A and B are shown apart, each in its own frame.
Chain A
C-alpha cells in the first residue's frame, strides 16, 4: 500500500525559501503523476503544481515564478521549493498521487488524486 510522507521545516522566515520533501513508500514514482497542494488555515485547497517522471512539470501560474518541483527517483522522493515566502504562504502542504489512464495512443492522463500524505504545517513568520 502506497504511503506518502511530507517533511521539512515547520517555520520559515519571510523572504526565505520553503523546502519540502515527499517520500513515497510501498510503491514507485513511475508511472504516476504527483502533485503538491496547500491549504491555508481555515480555507480551501490550492493546487501548486505537478510532475510526471522528469518529463513534464506543470505549475499554477499564480505561483510559477516562485515554485520548483523536482524528483529524485533513486530515493523515491520529490520536492517542493517556494522562494520569497510571505505570511500568505502559511498553510498545510500536501503531496498527492494521481490515478491515471493510458489513452489509446499510449498517453498517460492524470485523473483524481487517490493517495495523499498527512500534510505538514508550514508557518511563515519572523
Chain B
C-alpha cells in the first residue's frame, strides 16, 4: 500500500497569499496518477487536479499541481476567501488500494 504524507497539517494564511501544499508518497506513483481534492465542512470532496497537474473541469487557474514519482505539490497562487478548506491528495496508480493523504487544512490567519 502506498502511504501518502501531506505537509503541513495546517497552513495559516491570509487572503491573497500563496499556498504551497506537499504530498509525499512512500513509493513512486505510477504515471503520476495523483489527484488533489478540496473539502469544505459538511460537503463532499471536489476534484481539483488529476494526473498530478491537469486541472479538472471548471477549476480556476489559480490552482496548479506539479510533481512526479514520490513528491507532489498543490499551489494556490492567490488565496480567495472560498479557498479556505481541507485539501487531500490521492493516488490512483497501479498499486491498489487507492489511498489518500491525511489532509492539509488551509485556515485564515
Q: Out of A44, A47, A111, A118, name the residue touching B97 (CB < 8 Å).
A: A47
Q: Out of A35, A44, A99, A118, name the residue touching B98 (CB < 8 Å).
A: A35
In the complex the two chains form, what is the Cα distance from A45 to B46 in whole Å? 13
Most chain B C-beta atoms within 10 Å of own C-beta, residue among A35, A113, A118: A113
Instruction: Name the A residues within 8 Å of B102 (CB-CB).
Output: 44
Interface size of A by Cβ–Cβ distance < 8 Å? 24
Main secondary structure of the interface of B (DSSP, over half): loop
What 1/0 mask marks residues of chain A from 83 to 100 whose CB sits below 8 Å from any chain B CB? 000000000001010110
What 1/0 mask marks residues of chain A from 21 to 48 whose CB sits below 8 Å from any chain B CB? 0000000000000010000000011110
The B-contacting residues of A in range 55-84, CB under 8 angstroms, are: 58-62
Q: Is A117 an interface residue (CB 8 A)?
A: yes
Binding site for A on B (CB under 8 A): 1, 33, 35, 37, 43-47, 49-51, 56-57, 88, 90, 92, 96-103
